[in-house]
Amino acid sequence: MNNAELEQMVRDGAMVIDIRRPDEWRETGVVEGSYLVTAFDEQGRLTREFPALFGQLTDPQQPVVLICRTGNRTDALARMLIEQAGYEQVYNVSHGITSWIAAGGEVKPCPMRDTSLRC
């Protein structure tokens, strides 16, 4: 998914899940309305909490958009969710939040992670 498609999905109310780490959210901010669920730790391992949190937030039949820094983590994760977890509509923001910001996409500052999974 490119930036224009992300913008349209956000307008249409699609769920956006930012899978980066809290330090990355603080560094760049996040797309308004995103849920913040860290998928991978600093060593690239899937976090223990991710599957349960993702499952609580999402419905396998509803569209969900994944965003990370450059699109690499979300590309692999989107494929895994479709091929192994039964999700039907998982979209990867191809070049991540860095491309979104470079193209003038709006972000909301995110000073810290809270218990609601949103900034």
> For 50-108, how does the pLDDT look when each residue is reduced to its tens digit (9 = 90+)?
999 999 999 999 999 999 999 999 999 999 999 999 999 999 999 999 999 999 999 99
pLDDT at 114: 55
> What is the reported pLDDT for 117?
86
**CATH numbers and ranges of domains, the chain:** 3-102 (3.40.250.10)
For the whole prediction, is pTM greater than 0.75?
yes
Is the pLDDT confidence value at 16 over 70? yes
Across the strands, what pairs with 40?
46
Sign for the pseudo-dihedral over CA of 70, 22, 15, 51: positive
β pairing state of 90-92 and 64-67: parallel
Closest CA to 66 of 36, 103, 41: 36
The C-alpha atoms of residue 116 and residue 119 are separated, in whole angstroms, by: 8
The pLDDT value given to residue 74: 97
pLDDT, tens only, 19-37: 999 999 999 999 999 999 9
